[in-house]
Structure 1
Amino acid sequence: MNLGPYFIIVIAGVTSALCYVSVAFAPPPAFLLGYIAPLTILIAGLGWGVVASSGAVVIATLINLLISGFGTSLFYLIAVGGPAVWLSHLAVLGRAAPVTPGATGDSAIEWYPLGRLLIWAGVLGGTALALTFARAHFDLEAYTAPIQAVLKELLKGRAGTTSEGEQYSYALELSDNLAYALPLAAALLWTTTTLVNLWLAARITQYSGQLPRPWPDLAAIELPPLFLAAFFAIFAFAALAGGALGYVAAFYASALALVWIVIGLGVLHVVTRGRSFRRPLLIFIYVILIIFGWPAVPLMVLGVVEQFVQLRRRFTRAPSSPSPLS
Structure 2
Amino acid sequence: MNAKSILIGLLAGLASALLFAGLVTQASSAVALAFVAPVPILIASLGWGSVVGFVAALSAFGAVAGALGSVYAGLSIFLSVGLPSAVLGHIAGLARPVDAPARAGDAAPALVWFPLPRILFAMVLLASFGCIAMGWLIGYDPAELAPAVSQALSSEATATVPPQQIAELARFVVSVIPYIQPAFLVLTLAVCLYVSAAIVRTSGRLPRPKDDVPATAGLPRIALPLFALALALCFTGGTVALLGAVFAGALGCAFTLVGLAAMHRRSRGRTGRGLLLFTAYVAIVLLSIPLLAFLALGMFETAKSPALAADSDQTR
TM-score past 0.5 threshold: yes
2-side partners of 1:130 and 1:98: how far apart? 39
Equivalent in the alignment of 1:229: 225
Residue 113 of structure 2: aligned partner: 111
Q: Which residue of the partner structure matches residue 23 of structure 1? A: 23
Alignment of 1:100-249 (within 5 A): 102=103, 108-137=110-139, 139-155=141-157, 157-159=159-161, 165=162, 169-219=164-214, 220-238=216-234, 240-249=235-244
* Aligned-partner Cα distance in 1 for 2:119–2:135: 25
Alpha-carbon contact 1:184-1:251 (below 8 Å) kept: yes
Amino acid at match of 1:131: A
CA contact (8 A) 2:17 2:37 kept: yes
Q: CA deviation at 1:64?
A: 0.9
Deviates more, 1:121-130 or 1:137-146: 137-146
Q: SS of the counterpart of 1:214?
A: coil
User: Is the partner of 2:30 in helix, strand or coil?
Assistant: helix
- 8 Å CA contact 1:57, 1:77 repeated in 2: yes
Which residue among 269, 272, 277 is the counterpart of 1:274?
269
Q: Which moved more, 1:79-88 or 1:183-192?
A: 183-192
Task: Tell me the distance in 1 between the aligned counterparts of 2:199 and 2:45.
Answer: 12
Q: CA deviation at 1:19?
A: 0.9
Distance of 2:287 and 2:109 partners within structure 1: 41
Separation (CA, whole Å) in 1 of partners of 2:37 and 2:109: 34
Residue 106 (structure 1) shift: 8.2
Kept in 2, the 8 Å contact 1:138–1:244? The answer is no
| Unmatched 5+ stretches in structure 1 | 160-164, 311-326
Structure 2 counterpart of 1:92 = 93
Contact conserved, 2:255 with 2:296, CA < 8 A, in 1? yes
Counterpart contact for 2:187–2:253, Cα < 8 Å = yes
Deviation per CA, 1:227-277: give whole Å up to 9, x if none: 211221122122x31111111110111011112111111211121111132
Secondary structure of 1:110's partner? strand
Deviations 1:198-237 (A, max 9, x none): 1110110111111111111111224323221122112212
- Give 1:41 shift: 0.1
Secondary structure in 2 matching 1:28: coil
Give deviations 1:131-188, integer Å, cap 9, x for gaps: 23213545331244433332343335224xxxxx4xx533432331222113421221
| Secondary structure of the corresponding residue to residue 158 of structure 1 | coil
1:40-99 CA-to-partner distances (Å, cap 9, x unmatched) read 000001111111111112222221121112110122112210111001101111112211
Contact kept in structure 2, 1:139 and 1:244, CA below 8 Å? no
1:135 partner SS: helix
Q: Give the AA of the match of 1:263.
A: V
Pairwise CA distance, 1:192 = 0.7
Counterpart in the other structure of 2:249: 254
Q: Is contact 1:133-1:143 (8 Å) kept?
A: no
Q: Which structure has the higher relative contact order (CA within 8 Å, separation 6+)?
A: 2
Matched residue pairs, number? 302
Q: Is the 8 A contact 1:47 1:205 kept in 2?
A: yes
Letter in 2 for 1:71: Y
Residue of structure 1 equivalent to 2:311: none
Instruction: Look up the equivalent residue of 2:199 and give its one-letter code.
Output: I
Q: Which runs of 5 or more structure 2 residues have no equivalent in the other structure?
A: 306-316
The structural deviation recorded for 1:34 is 1.0
Match of 1:61 in 2: 61
Bigger mean CA deviation after superposition, 121-130 or 105-114: 105-114
Cα displacement (A) at 1:189:
0.9
1:200 counterpart letter in structure 2: V
